[in-house]
Structure 1
């Protein structure tokens, strides 16, 4: 009998396990996910920490309480912490919040009246734009004032060389000058900064429309809608004919086109060569979120004006740093405008930079191993009787779009999404991989994507009809393939296959 390598991970355990800075959390059953989305008290008791933009980190809760006591803040107010004073200004101006108490701290603090819709709007906006205060900053602050007595032990790059190491690695990977690399405290803050920069440039012209190509990540779409009154969405990325028809009439009014290559979670790609030609024809900047592609699988330098990457994912590989990057392409004329895009990037805490600078040294090797594992796992899935449909970056539907940009024939994005012929809940509950939000980890990580990203659609008939219209299956399992022995990964799926069949 084969040894079971993967074990059940209890609900609420951090992913990675026992790491206070983890950005993922174990949700081992579908009911755990549903209870989390419905804010069931029992599940919230278990889940102390999760993806930092969605769940307030325990250290930030303690720090907020400390600030409230330090400045004698009235109980009617909620203390909200942000990454910087600049972030405070942005949120305060947007929601007309002006603190009556002078708070002198090396991070951002705003006071919002409890029990108001304003508070929820503020928290949602912070989630979208990714200006959360770093858990490492909170840890160091609390340790300094003797509220906590331990610092999480981890490998860090030297403070003097960390920023250069991180930026230089990205510059070489993307084949860009180092000055064209900008760092952000999250991938969403990187997107936010690009959109703000485009908006600022557009104010000097008549280009007031932003085109969204594909069903993008939830918060990317929210940021676009926040900043552009005029947006045009083309959810079917395989049909560039309708995009071309739109541009024939409106091309000179388009501020930018934003897309993901490949998309999350259906792992689809636009015909990037044709899209670039359309952008050139109408002088439109092309923004590509290349998080899933990584610079080691797809060469997007000939096509994108601006690239954005969530470094939290494959660049980190350990799901314990929240960070993002903006990469301006030297090939295109927009590259000289670093100031307009980089000035909107929020501050990144040095300890986060040190941690990621240490982890990014294994970036290329990690991606190559994950890519090789992905190829073999897809081959297994094609003969697995439980699998209904497989979504992956080199499938026949997408291959023609990748041939231009693929580094080599063996480049596979480390993400696979699948649907099943048998009961989704039973399969999900019985798989013993790590299960929770995020991706790009060295450990295989599963996520019931639609349940966690679009539960509001699942919970109503109209929403379900919309998901069907855009061909996003409710019972979709997104698999972030890890670097473990591929035979062990396959054997875990085989175990559940024999259990369910």
Structure 2
């Protein structure tokens, strides 16, 4: 059932996950064993630089690099400069110019066919400091996507991408053109639209694209059944933003969806519109940039630097962002009422914070923080509340009313197909910080979401509501099965969490408890037997349309297992992201895996 070691999951060129089908494979990956690493054809994009991007890096180094250098690639000058600054902040003694940026811009060839242009910003650095650059790539999520890398590699080999200096840049870096300049008008949102197509390149009447010189599968997977005009990327982004705002609820074609009048009754929050939704290349990019926006907002209003709060045990990179950028972080790993008591004592004594970041519910323990109390403290002591709703998702929970900003990884359930990355940040229009944050975003935000990724994401997300409901149902059935097993130590799921009351206080009227759960066993060997036997895909990520399992603590915290255990995250924890499979079929697979775990215990006795 699971793919072979190192194979993409799913089997597509831009897969988000990678197959690590046994416990041993996961441990070997963490220990860097050659037998495993040599088989890795891909990996989770923020942890494993896609082979296409690696090839692009090699070509750029060959053309523009110096001896002993490596390069990391970014979609904009601002993201490249943040990488450069991180080097000089973290590495002592770096001389001026040691870490330098090269800007590559497309040369307009004047061809009369559909052309997508992408700038590329290359950060060169001494190869001995690759681990520093990798931190930026992993934690910020702002590196180029594999689809952008594929496009730029082709453009570079064709001589279209050339070095430039001091060239004015549009706000965004995705530019589409049709024909010669005389047929173009002033860009809007970074997109140049055709005013009148040249006679030799007529506009297709059915809205399909003229992509004769490009492989159509680069834009749309075969399952879509037709070629999409890549100029629809801006409309795809608008549809995504409307869907996140709650304005689009029907599974309809893009043109019909955008033609429909948004319904106020479906909006997640009074006054919310698509203009309050901001798209990012990855979920982690939305978290990183939310933190960056809070820092920039404080600086713009002359406020002193303040630490942030990480409340509850989070996904690994959220904590790293808060620790490595800005003044630092106060970490409350348990995320309990006692932690809030301690925070309140600190606030009463005069300590002040920039913002509180928390997941709802948390990954992997599925605990839900007390957002009502957090909101009260935030209002009283003037700090922002940023909630990551990825695991709960907005079909199940309504956390925006308690937050100043809600962030999410669209890569997960919103997409489902595990073939494209994306993230979002939503401002709460009812927040007292709304005006300030809106102004800061107007000054700071740039749209780095690559066109092709947006097209895929919009397509994938059309049936998001249906899929979420189906996944909720499957997950509850599996939770009931696991909870009835005598040698299962603990099942982590919001419905049966000690913090269920906090979850229910934010549950949407028709919301369920989500598609993620975690399980631990009485014996470590039982966890291994269960995982190895389970008939499903196994690898990083969650929210996929297919069931996906991983030994989460091994994969995310292998070098800090004791630290994770202090927050209740056991080393043998298996995280399960439940998919759309037939319920009875899934139950059969899990029963067989539980039988293997039972036999493992008997073998020890």
Partner Cα separation in structure 1 for residue 34 and residue 75 of structure 2: 29
State the partner residue of 1:181: 277
**Superposition map of 1:127-142 within 5 A:** 127-142=138-153
Give the stretch that moved more between structures: 158-167 or 19-28: 158-167
1:431 aligns with 2:499: no
* Mapped partners of 1:307, 1:426: distance in 2: 38
Stretch moving more, 47-56 or 60-69:
60-69
- Deviation per CA, 1:409-464: give whole Å up to 9, x if none: 76112100000124221221111211100000010000111111101113xxxxx2
Q: Which has the higher contact order (CA 8 A, sep 6+)?
A: 1
Alignment match, 1:318: 417
65, 73, 77: which one aligns with 1:85: 77
Which residue of 578, 583, 588 maps to 1:491? 588
2:430 paired residue number? 331
Q: Is the counterpart of residue 197 in structure 1 residue 293 in structure 2?
A: yes
**C-alpha deviation, 1:467, in angstroms:** 2.9
Distance (Å, rounded) in 2 between the aligned partners of 1:290 and 1:346: 21
Measure, in 2, the Cα distance between the counterparts of 1:69 and 1:418. 48
Distance in structure 2 (CA, Å) of the matches to 1:63 and 1:231: 36
Q: Is the 8 Å Cα contact of residues 182 and 345 (structure 1) preserved in structure 2?
A: no
Q: Aligned runs of 1:383-394 on 2, under 5 Å?
A: 383-394=484-495
Q: Which runs of 5+ in 1 are unaligned?
A: 1-6, 459-463
User: SS at 2:350's partner residue?
Assistant: helix
Contact kept, 8 Å, 2:293 with 2:441, in 1: the verdict is: yes
Relative to structure 1, the CA distance from residue 163 to residue 36 in structure 2 (aligned partners, 3 Å threshold; closer, same or farther) is: same
1-structure distance, mates of 2:343, 2:475: 32
- Do structure 1's residue 241 and structure 2's residue 347 form an aligned pair? no
Pairing partner for 2:130 from 119, 122, 128 = 119
| Structure 2 equivalent of residue 351 of structure 1 | 452
Indicate yes or no: 2:315 matched with 1:217.
yes
Please report how far the alpha carbon of residue 102 of structure 1 lies from its aligned counterpart in structure 2 after TM superposition.
5.1
Q: 1:328 touches 1:334 (CA, 8 Å); kept in 2?
A: no
Larger radius of gyration: 2
The answer to whether the Cα contact below 8 Å between 1:189 and 1:346 also exists between their aligned partners in 2 is no
| Correspondence for 2:239 among 147, 158, 165 | 165
CA shift, 1:101, in A, is 8.1
Quick check: 1:14–1:49 contact (8 Å CA) kept in 2?
yes
Q: How does 1:16-95 map to 2 (within 5 A)?
A: 16=10, 18-71=11-64, 73-95=65-87
Q: By how many angstroms is 1:359 displaced?
A: 0.8
**Gaps spanning 5+ residues in structure 2: where?**
89-95, 106-118, 159-212, 247-266, 599-605
- Confirm or deny: 8 A CA contact 1:386 1:497 kept in the other structure: no
Shift in Å, 1:285: 1.4
Alignment root-mean-square deviation, CA = 2.1
- Give CA-to-partner distance per residue, 1:207-263, whole Å, 9 cap, x none: 613122111111111110122324222222222222222221235x22111111111
Does residue 478 (structure 1) correspond to residue 575 (structure 2)? The answer is yes
TM-score normalised over the length of structure 2: 0.76
Taking structure 1 as reference, are residues 435 and 469 closer, same or farther at Cα in structure 2, changes over 3 Å only? same
Which stretch shows the higher mean deviation, 231-240 or 153-162?
Answer: 153-162
Q: Is the 8 A contact 2:279 2:423 kept in 1?
A: yes
Residues paired across the two proteins, number: 484
CA–CA separation in structure 2 for the residues paired with 1:27 and 1:183: 30
Normalised TM-score (structure 1): 0.91
CA-CA distance at 1:45 after TM superposition:
1.2
